[in-house]
Structure 1
Amino acid sequence: MALFSDYINQAKSNLKFLFEVNNKAGAYYDWQVTVSFYVGVHLINAYLVKERGMSFNSHTETFDAINPANSLSPLKLSEENYLAYRKLYNLSRRSRYICTDQDRLKGQDEKVAYLTYDKHFERAIINLDKLLNFIQLKYGESFPPIKINLIGMKSSTLQHFKYHKAP
């Protein structure tokens, strides 16, 4: 089983990758949302290992373990952190599995994909920031600010993400 530090290191590595994709590849929001979720997966796994030496084989088992409404779980998160993780999961599934808008395609010969937009990526970043804050406060882990090229972040007050216009 991976250690707490292994999960934290993988989360940091994925954050670096997110920065690279965002600043060099621009609008691949579906992948940026997915990477954001997997940073969250590693953060939650770090929490589970640190608190109980546990890891789970499915997202469903993880959700059951951290759900604040699960009175039997010693691993439940606050509602805010649970919902942040749940929203990241939902955004990631949306970005991976919803690829076309049939109504938008009426009258077009060519199918167009990419239904994940900057607004979805912005939501993912907001929820990921909550999980990064949780791990930082609980365990004293530090995460350097990530510069994100996303106009919606320009007036943001997030702790771990700062607006940065890519060259």
Structure 2
Amino acid sequence: MKSSAAHLTQATQNRQFHDELCTSYPDHYYDWKVTVCFYEALHYLDSYCCEKGETSLNTHRKREIQLNPRNQSEGLKLSNGAWNLYSFLLEESKKARYDGFIDYDHFMEMKRNDHSNCIIALQKLKEYFKSKGVILD
């Protein structure tokens, strides 16, 4: 079981990796950039959960059941907006990793746009966690 601090360390490493990808390969690897944005968000989420005493959410499905404000389960919930941002990043990450492509240039252009949207969603999600007392930087 990781601590809140360990999740923040991993989030920082993911952010640094993302920044390095963007600096070294500004016009390439958008699928990986999208994926790394999601995993940065995941570790912020897990840090938040640890801070709130919820340490058993170690799968995507468990997070969905517990944290989605539309579910009837008891316990820690995210706001609708925060859950939508997290879900968006998760889905974009899955699409980047698993959706095949026929035309490479078209796929990269789609991922470039997705990456831009993921950066915005990640920033908004970080603002949410900061408002909840998670120290991100």
1:96–1:12: structure 2 CA closer, same or farther, 3 Å change rule?
same
Q: Which amino acid aligns with 2:21?
A: V
Correspondences of 1:7-26 after superposition (within 5 Å): 7-26=7-26
Distance (Å, rounded) in 2 between the aligned partners of 1:25 and 1:118:
12
Distance (Å, rounded) in 1 between the aligned partners of 2:128 and 2:36:
19
1:36–1:63: structure 2 CA closer, same or farther, 3 Å change rule?
same
2:56 is aligned with 1:55: yes
1:5 equivalent in structure 2: 5
Deviation at 1:142, TM superposition (A): 4.1
1:87–1:140: structure 2 CA closer, same or farther, 3 Å change rule?
closer
Deviation at 1:54, TM superposition (A): 1.4
Deviation at 1:118, TM superposition (A): 1.4
Correspondences of 1:94-113 after superposition (within 5 Å): 94-101=95-102, 112=104
2:43 is aligned with 1:42: yes
TM-score, with structure 1 as normaliser:
0.74
Distance (Å, rounded) in 1 between the aligned partners of 2:53 and 2:76:
8
Deviation at 1:113, TM superposition (A): 7.4
Structure 2: gaps (5+ residues) = none
2:116 equivalent in structure 1: 122
1:151 equivalent in structure 2: none
2:89 is aligned with 1:88: yes
Distance (Å, rounded) in 2 between the aligned partners of 1:9 and 1:122:
24
1:140–1:42: structure 2 CA closer, same or farther, 3 Å change rule?
closer
Deviation at 1:55, TM superposition (A): 2.9
Structure 1: gaps (5+ residues) = 106-111, 144-167
2:127 is aligned with 1:133: yes
Kept after mapping to 2: 8 A contact 1:45/1:55: no
Q: Which amino acid aligns with 2:118?
A: A
Which range moved further: 18-27 or 53-62?
Answer: 53-62
Kept after mapping to 2: 8 A contact 1:100/1:113: no
Larger Rg: 1
Kept after mapping to 2: 8 A contact 1:37/1:92: yes
What is the total number of aligned residue pairs between the two structures? Answer: 134
Divergent runs of 4+, >3 A: none
Which has the larger share of helix? 2
Once the two structures are superposed, what CA deviation does each residue of 1:38-59 show, in whole Å capped at 9, x if it has no partner? 0011011111111124132320
Kept after mapping to 2: 8 A contact 1:68/1:79: yes
Deviation at 1:70, TM superposition (A): 1.8
